[in-house]
Structure 1
Amino acid sequence: GANLAVAGNKAKGGVLGKPVQLFPYDVGTRPEEAVNAFRRMAENDKVVAVVGANGSGINIATAPLANRYKIPQIGTVSTNLLVTVNDQGELNPYMFRTCFTDPYQGQLIAAFTAKELKKNTAAVLYDVGSDYAQGLREFFMKYYEDYGGKIVADQGFRAGTDVDFRAQLTTIRDSKAEVLVLPNMGKEMALIMKQARELGMNDIIFVGGDGYGEFMWEIAGDAMENSYWINHVAPEDPAMADFFANYKKTYNDECKEFVNGILAYDSIYWLADAIERAGKVDSTAIKDALENTVNVQLHHAVMSIDPATHNPMNKTGVVLVAKDGRAQFFTRIQPE
């Protein structure tokens, strides 16, 4: 996504008449690698801004470096509150995000489950080692209870280690939960859904957040059908048609990880807009421009930033339904 945005920006003459240069680093899901990469970008590459990563834990780890080097960093799918505000409640002045936050996403999942699905009992199965999963779980539970729902089971696992979830699923099955909320990322969600159906949990509805990935179909198969996923974007959005067409033309493949792709794509466009508004290639001026973003039209949304938190304000969520082997647009949702 970022590469496509840089190419598109270059075709339009660049930013302030200069081409954008990208220094890509692959840090996987390892915060220590991200910290090392940030140091190299700041000290060797002399970057003026950083886009990524797509996980909260990584950006929480790099936030002190962004502040120390005074280089703005935009997380793409980094939804945890601690990305932009530290655990003392103080703003991380150089940290931003394109996505909505865990509390907001948790509220969206709760509102959808209670008000759209009209289900009053829910279970949660989450990765105890993930900042993302823990934050989403916490805020889903809070808002779901506010909407009159009841949490009847709360189970954990550890991603990268656990592959057999039948013990947790048996507890959830016995709780008579109507909905199983999966506030996670990765293959474990697909394994959980597959194993749940194998245990005869045919009526329970799976609801997740923005951790959905098309690769999950290869693992879960038909168990994915009629699950729901609260997300930032929808593949059917007409505004994203050029993105998907360019992606297929460039890479000769479909963009399966479309959330990561689109939010990285629009993060580059948002950054370019901020540099234009700053009027110079200066990290502090770019930070100030990002902070003062008001009604900037990106491809997937209109972006306005709360200067006090550096969070997007009032973004509409998208609900995807897994149907016929792919994610399809179901509805839009915005909590009251």
Structure 2
Amino acid sequence: MKKVLLVLCALVLLVGTVAEGAEPIKIGCLVQLTGSGATWGEHHRDMSIIAVEEINAAGGLLGRPVELVIYDFRGRQEDAVNAARRLILEDKVQVIAGTNFSGCQIAIVPISEQHKVPIVSFSATNPAVTVDPQTGKVRPYSFRVCFTDPYQGKAIAEFLGTTLNLKTAVIFHDVGSDYSEGMKQFFEDHFPKVGGKVVGTYGYRDGDVDFRAQITQAKATGAEAVFLPGMYKEMALIIKQAAEMDWKPVFIGGDGYSPAMTEIAGDAMNGTYWLTHIATDDPDVQPLVKKYEKRFNKKPVEIVSCTLAYDTIMWIADAIKRAGEYDGAKIRDALANTQGLQLPDFVLTVDPATNTPHNKPTAILVFEGSVEKLYQKVIPQD
């Protein structure tokens, strides 16, 4: 096992009705603490810790304490595979929470299926995470607590073309990202259906910092809007550099968004739109904000990441209870058969054809006065 994979914590609180000396129930947790998505990973980790502490304070699961085993997968497929293998073969976990990247999640599907250990992703939105694109069949041991890219692409296209009445757009996309390329495709497919036209696409690579050449070309198209299906650091740099080059189209992106983008883009963030999982000012998640502040003595920046992580751990805990046994195959069955589970921000019912929440609410945010605000709440319908 590579030394870069670090066990960050093993949390066990022996309280309530937990039997003394009982063997812990282990929940694996794959988070990114290194690289461009580290701010998400830190909040995934921290809120998972809070959720497990609450579970143990309430008596644990099946009369046993819960132990959270966390690895940093660094946003890389190779490290995600190595971490998943270690969790399953060495730590003997029967269920895993994580990851947040579609490519990494897809990469660990074979090992989870081989060993019958279900993995619930925080925010891997590519359809191929849970459904094999070759066969159209559901991947039995892969789940997500978030919505999918096809819905994001469709909703963003409709919002631009119908709500904002913008008819021309360009796309800046990460050519090495399954997430970004999938979102690009879904937007391209749907934007013409609402009277729009994609007039240019411009690729880049994760870690790029200079986008002036692409911005120059995109600006020349006269596009009214820019779709950004990427991660927050690159998207913030694109917005910042576009403003510096006196180009001010309407920018809109998906759930790769982060409030931390203001640290890079500053006032250029004003007037931008983002489709994400939940609005930070949603009253349903304020109790989670207070829990985070009390536990870590600071305000959470990534409230979406906090919410998704808390939802994931609580969903897994509920499935273990209903399974009645700490067994990967039985936990898988319980996850797939989840109906009407009340979580802080929504009621979870799983679509068994996709292992994805059915009709999960989403939020479109707008930046005004350097602050994100809820512009519109959307609940997808079949």
> For this structure pair, what is the TM-score category when the shorter chain's length is used for normalisation?
over 0.9
Secondary structure class of the residue paired with 2:68: coil
Alpha carbons 2:102, 2:125 under 8 Å: kept: yes
Secondary structure class of the residue paired with 1:285: helix
Q: Which residue in 2 is equivalent to 1:218? A: 263
Q: Which residue in 1 is equivalent to 2:205? A: 158
Shift of 1:18: 2.5
Alpha carbons 1:111, 1:335 under 8 Å: kept: no
Secondary structure class of the residue paired with 1:58: helix
Q: Which residue in 1 is equivalent to 2:11? A: none
Q: Which residue in 2 is equivalent to 1:206? A: 251
Secondary structure class of the residue paired with 1:187: helix
Is 1:11–2:57 an aligned residue pair? yes
Q: Which residue in 2 is equivalent to 1:86? A: 132
Shift of 1:142: 1.0
Deviation digits for residues 213-244 of structure 1, max 9, x if unmatched? Answer: 12211111111112111011111121211110
Alpha carbons 1:271, 1:290 under 8 Å: kept: yes
Q: Which residue in 2 is equivalent to 1:55? A: 101
Alpha carbons 2:359, 2:380 under 8 Å: kept: no
More divergent stretch after superposition (324-333 vs 61-70): 324-333
Alpha carbons 1:108, 1:334 under 8 Å: kept: no
Q: Which residue in 1 is equivalent to 2:92? A: 46
Shift of 1:324: 2.9
Is 1:228–2:273 an aligned residue pair? yes
Structural RMSD (CA): 1.3
The 2-side partners of 1:21 and 1:318 are apart by 33
More divergent stretch after superposition (291-300 vs 20-29): 291-300
Residues 156 and 108 of structure 1: CA distance in aligned 2, closer, same or farther (over 3 Å): same
Q: Which residue in 2 is equivalent to 1:114? A: 161
The 2-side partners of 1:121 and 1:254 are apart by 39
Alpha carbons 2:99, 2:124 under 8 Å: kept: yes
Query: What is the one-letter code of the residue matched to 1:158?
Result: R
Alpha carbons 2:138, 2:354 under 8 Å: kept: yes
Is 1:77–2:135 an aligned residue pair? no
Secondary structure class of the residue paired with 1:22: strand
Shift of 1:323: 2.6
The 2-side partners of 1:11 and 1:289 are apart by 23
Query: What is the one-letter code of the residue matched to 1:207?
Result: I
Relative contact order higher in (CA < 8 Å, ≥ 6 apart): 1
Secondary structure class of the residue paired with 1:28: coil
More divergent stretch after superposition (124-133 vs 250-259): 250-259
Is 1:127–2:168 an aligned residue pair? no
Query: What is the one-letter code of the residue matched to 2:304?
Result: V
Deviation digits for residues 276-301 of structure 1, max 9, x if unmatched? Answer: 22222211111001111122111122
Q: Which residue in 2 is equivalent to 1:333? A: 378
How many aligned positions are there?
A: 334
Alpha carbons 1:112, 1:333 under 8 Å: kept: no
The 2-side partners of 1:129 and 1:293 are apart by 34
Is 1:307–2:355 an aligned residue pair? no
5+ long unaligned stretches in structure 2:
1-46
Alpha carbons 2:61, 2:320 under 8 Å: kept: yes
Q: Which residue in 1 is equivalent to 2:298? A: 253
Alpha carbons 2:157, 2:190 under 8 Å: kept: yes
Query: What is the one-letter code of the residue matched to 2:246?
Result: G
Residues 248 and 324 of structure 1: CA distance in aligned 2, closer, same or farther (over 3 Å): farther
Deviation digits for residues 66-105 of structure 1, max 9, x if unmatched? Answer: 1011000001110011111223133211000001111111
5+ long unaligned stretches in structure 1:
none
Query: What is the one-letter code of the residue matched to 2:285?
Result: M
Shift of 1:267: 0.3
Is 1:101–2:148 an aligned residue pair? yes
The 2-side partners of 1:268 and 1:55 are apart by 17
Shift of 1:335: 5.2
The 2-side partners of 1:271 and 1:226 are apart by 38
The 1-side partners of 2:62 and 2:279 are apart by 32
The 2-side partners of 1:309 and 1:99 are apart by 12
Quick one: which of 191, 213, 224 aligns to 1:178? 224
The 1-side partners of 2:56 and 2:282 are apart by 24
Shift of 1:138: 0.7
Quick one: which of 288, 305, 318 aligns to 1:273? 318
Query: What is the one-letter code of the residue matched to 2:102?
Result: S
